[in-house]
Amino acid sequence: MDPPRDMPTVAFTRQDGSRYTLGPAEGRPLVVFFGYTHCPDVCPTTLADWKRAKAELGDKAARVRWVFVTVDPDRDSVSVAERYARQYDSTFVGLSGDAPTTAKVMEAYGVAAAREDGTPGSGYLVSHSSQVFLLDGAGKLVALYPFGTRWEALAADLAQLL
Amino acid sequence: MLMRPFRVLAAGAAIAVLAAACAPTETPQGRAVTAAWARAADSGATGGAYLTIVNHDSATVDLVSVATALAASAEVHESMQHDGMSHMMPRTSVSIGARDSLVMAPGGLHVMLNQLTRALAAGDSVPLTVRFSNGDSVLVRVPVRAP
């Protein structure tokens, strides 16, 4: 991303009542993905890739904020989103906003999502933007990774930021 | 950033590693599930699994359904990427040509396990019945991998 782009700050409420802010945090890069927990393929693949990238980075990865944001808050409660992200790594953060917060963060990141017909078994499906966003500690968007990008690319870029 | 070939390479590596963990299961007509793995997932959540099915027969056959007692329902779906968006659609039938194979992999064809009846953890296995259009079926024990 050249030049890096300033991103709006968006705050979420977590299950314990605390606030989690997607925004600048000195020295702490932010990795963000938008998906939904009923997603059996693309979202798990992305979070599993983050787990590999985190392992590759070793101790330095402790400074990275890894955040999954649901685009399906009607089905993904705050606790469901948190638990979903934690399945992959105890430090991964899962966020579910109320409708205005979800709309705000999707607009801020230019993320789209749309319900599509599923089956009686699956319920509705959700098409959604599938890039991973990388922000530096100053809260500037520095890279976008389309789905399918090797996780090593994210790890290498993070290593440069840390 | 390097792009997509990873998906194929990763799938290939996973299949190589897991081939030994999932003994081939073959129908009398020579349709075999030669590799399979499922993701760890919470009880009540949505799970995912990936199969490689080889058709040793001289006739094309369709994969028509999958079923397991560990989920309220199981379906074959396909993910697609278009203009930066991920889309997914149910596939009620997937053709496997004569002496060809069907390789499910992340970002493409996969098995969707709806409303898991119990949590799937690494080391577990999912009994999955795979049915074909000629009426044959095979029962596969799909090993669960850590996320």
Average pLDDT over residues B90-104: 96
On chain B, the residues whose CB falls within 8 A of the CB of A44 are 39, 48, 106, 147
Q: A18 by DSSP, 3-state: which? A: coil
pLDDT digits (tens, 9 = 90+) for A123-155: 999 999 999 999 999 999 999 999 999 999 999
Contact at CB, A127 and B47, closer than 8 angstroms: no
CA-only gyration radius of chain B, Å = 15
- CA dihedral over A76, A79, A84, A89, signed as positive or negative: positive
Does residue B19 have a pLDDT over 90?
no
SS3 A52: helix
ipTM given for this complex: 0.89
Q: What is the pLDDT of residue B15?
A: 44
State the pLDDT at residue B4.
38
pLDDT of residue B24: 55
**Res. B13 pLDDT band, cuts 50 70 90:** very low
Tens-place pLDDT, residues B107-116: 999 999 999 9
pTM of the complete model beyond 0.90? no
Q: Do A130 and B6 touch (CB under 8 A)?
A: no
DSSP, residue by residue, B18-31? HHTTS--EE-TTSE
Contact check, Cβ <8 Å, B7/A87: no
Q: Does B92 touch chain A (CB under 8 A)?
A: no
Q: Which residue of B has its CA nearest to A1?
A: B1
Q: Do B85 and A40 touch (CB under 8 A)?
A: no
The whole-chain average pLDDT of chain A stands at: 95
